[in-house]
Amino acid sequence: MKLHEYQAKEIFARYGIPVARSEIASTPAEAKSAAERLGGKVVVKAQVHAGGRGKAGGVKLVANAAEAESAAAGMLGRNLVTHQTTARGVPVRKVLIAETTPIATELYLAVTVDGDARAPVIMGSRAGGMDIETVAAEHPERIIRVKADPSYGIWPYGARDMARALGFPPKLVREAADLILNLYRVFVDNDCTLAEINPLVITTDGRVVAVDSKLNIEDDALFRHADLKALADPEQQDELQRRAEAAGVKYVKLENGRVGCMVNGAGLAMATMDITEKAGTPPANFLDVGGSANEDRIAEAFKLLVSDADVRAIFVNIFGGILRCDIAARGVVQGARESGSRLHIVALLRGTNAEDGRRILADSGLKVTFLDDLSQAGAAVAATLPAQGARR
Ligand code: GDP
Ligand code: MN
């Protein structure tokens, strides 16, 4: 789950991470009065669950409260499109009005989980302010990575070494090291998958300020963070993603695919994607309905698949275990009926109650091609796909 910048800033402040004074506003009038209280010269920042706002017109430095009002009016109620959003963008409902920070240097600092290292890793770079993916791709040597020990984190001397390596001048090393340790505490205490400051700024008058703030929380840990869970803003999420989460299915939309895949189990889902990809009919999604799905969940998953306009055929690959094939088949029939979908279905049902499942699909009146094993899948799926570009 993602937090908004203003929400992350409040958490940063509680952990002693220096942030600019700021107020949140939902209307241009609120933005104006907030700017007046903050001294007029402020930065107006669209609050969306996406980075890259600066280049997309979602961050505006203004000289006075009247300009803050009109900058806010230009952002609020519109969708902001950045390189991290879809072409439709994400709605701006709030703007953060922050005291401007006089910037001398922009750095990058983040804590995330390194799967290979099986540990949290603290990453820093003097090439802050810009897209860190670009820095990582073109100048990996400019990113400093310090592995933390999951049991104790990092020691203060490790944080000081890192601060020096990042180029903090001697009289700011102590402060920067404290900030690194505090960011690490934010990360651990809140079960984050990412705690990021980009840019972390050295001001012209020699202070350190977190100018941007990003926190992503591990969904599976939200049960123990009711306060964080309350900060969710589902409107910022992609519609299909939101429906998938509500239904309890793991769904990832993929670009350029035409086959909607419905599978139980993550491993089988990945194998299914590989097979359709190899057959020259790329999958439109990853979808794992889970081991214990019921009819309604299967039906909702089916409806998710067919509401993706890229999907031209459906491949149902169920290995019946705890999830019985007859239940899966009923769910598919229900989903097809409720969505009115006429898409061709390729079905491979094996395991518990596979015969019943086939019969239910065969009797449903839907267009179904049955397979006996996975080796037939590529050709069968390819055969059901309408010619490229044909309308469904
Ligand atoms: P992002 O583009 O979504 O990551 O938004 P940021 O909060 O990182 O802002 C983008 C850029 O705007 C920063 O890298 C800064 O260069 C600039 N910026 C943001 N706030 C301030 C500020 O208070 N003062 C100055 N001088 N620049 C700012
Ligand atoms: Mn940023």
Say which ligand is closest to the CA of 54.
1
Question: Buried b vs exposed e over 147-182: b needs ≥16 C-beta within 10 Å?
Answer: ebeeeebbeeebbbbbbeebebeeebbeebbbbbbb
Q: Is 255 a catalytic residue?
A: no
Task: Report yes or no: 108 and 197 within 8 Å, Cβ to Cβ.
Answer: yes
Burial of 204 from C-beta contacts in 10 A (0-12 / 13-18 / 19+): exposed
For the chain, the 3-state helix, strand and coil shares in percent, each to the nearest 5, are: 40, 25, 35
CA-based torsion, 132, 50, 241, 281: positive or negative: negative
Atom nearest to 198 CA in ligand 1: 8
> Residues with Cβ < 8 Å from 360, sequence gap 6 or more?
326, 329, 330, 333
Residue 166's pLDDT is: 97
At residue 66 the predicted structure's pLDDT band, cuts being 50, 70 and 90, is: very high
Task: Look at residue 391 and tell me whether its pLDDT is greater than 80.
Answer: no
Q: Which amino acid is at 273?
A: M
CATH number of 21-100: 3.30.1490.20
CB 242 within 8 A of CB 268: no
Give residue 181's pLDDT: 98
Q: For residues 166 and 129, give the distance between their C-alpha atoms in angstroms, rounded to a whole number.
A: 14
Confidence of residue 194 (pLDDT cuts 50, 70, 90): very high
**pLDDT (mean) for 3-8:** 98
Tens digit of each residue's pLDDT (9 = 90 or more) over 260-307:
999 999 999 999 999 889 888 899 999 999 888 899 999 999 999 999
Taking only the tens place, the pLDDT of each residue in 26-58 is 999 999 999 999 999 999 999 999 999 999 999
Which among 199, 186, 230 is positioned nearest to 1, based on CA atoms?
230
Q: Pick the atom of ligand 1 nearest to 99's CA.
A: 23
Q: Domain 238-384 in CATH: superfamily?
A: Succinyl-CoA synthetase domains (3.40.50.261)
Closest C-alpha to ligand 1, atom 12:
54
Among 86-90, 223-227, 271-275, 387-391, the minimum mean pLDDT is found in: 387-391
Which pLDDT belongs to residue 387?
A: 65
Residue tagged active-site, from 5, 196, 251, 300? 196
Distance 373 CA to ligand 2 centre (A): 49
Domain 1-19+102-237 top-level CATH class: alpha beta
Q: What is residue 293's predicted lDDT score, i.e. its pLDDT?
A: 87
Q: What percent of the chain has pLDDT over 70?
A: 98
Q: What is the pTM of this model?
A: 0.83
Q: Is the dihedral of CA 313, 318, 323, 324 positive or negative?
A: positive
- Which amino acid belongs to residue 385? L
Q: Is the peptide bond before 170 cis (omega within 30 degrees of 0)?
A: no
- Lowest mean pLDDT across 1-15, 91-105, 255-269: 255-269
Kindly list the distances between the CA atom of residue 165 and the CA atoms of 156, 181, 377, in Å, as whole numbers in the listed order.
14, 15, 54
The alpha-helical segments, DSSP class H, found in 4-76 are 5-14, 28-37, 65-75
Q: Do the beta carbons of residue 260 and residue 285 sit within 8 Å?
A: yes
Ligand 1: residues with CB < 6 A are 43, 45, 51-54, 59, 61, 100-101, 103, 106, 129, 198-199, 211-212
Q: Reply yes or no on whether 251 is catalytic.
A: no
Atom of ligand 1 nearest to the CA of 106: 14
Rounded Cα gap, residues 296 and 204, in angstroms: 59
How many whole angstroms from 20 Cα to the centroid of ligand 1? 12
CA distance 110 to 240: 29
Residue 388, pLDDT > 60, answer no
Average pLDDT over residues 312-339: 95
- 78 pLDDT band (50/70/90 cuts)? very high
Read off the amino acid at residue 13.
A
Cα 160 to Cα 54, 111, 173, 324, distances in angstroms: 30, 16, 6, 57
Q: Which of 23, 69, 108, 251 is catalytic?
A: 108
pLDDT digits (tens, 9 = 90+) for 198-209: 999 999 999 999
pLDDT band per the 50, 70, 90 thresholds, residue 378: confident
pLDDT value for 120: 98
Of residues 255 and 155, more confidently modeled: 155
Domain spans, the chain? 1-19+102-237, 21-100, 238-384
**Mean pLDDT of the residues in the chain:** 94
pLDDT of residue 55: 93
Q: How far apart are CA 369 and CA 358, in angstroms?
A: 10
> Higher pLDDT residue, 86 or 156?
156
pLDDT in tens, 342-367: 999 999 999 999 999 999 999 999 99
Model confidence at 392, pLDDT cuts 50, 70, 90, reads low
Strand partners for 113: 120
E strand map for 308-356 = 313-320, 344-351
pLDDT > 60? residue 183: yes
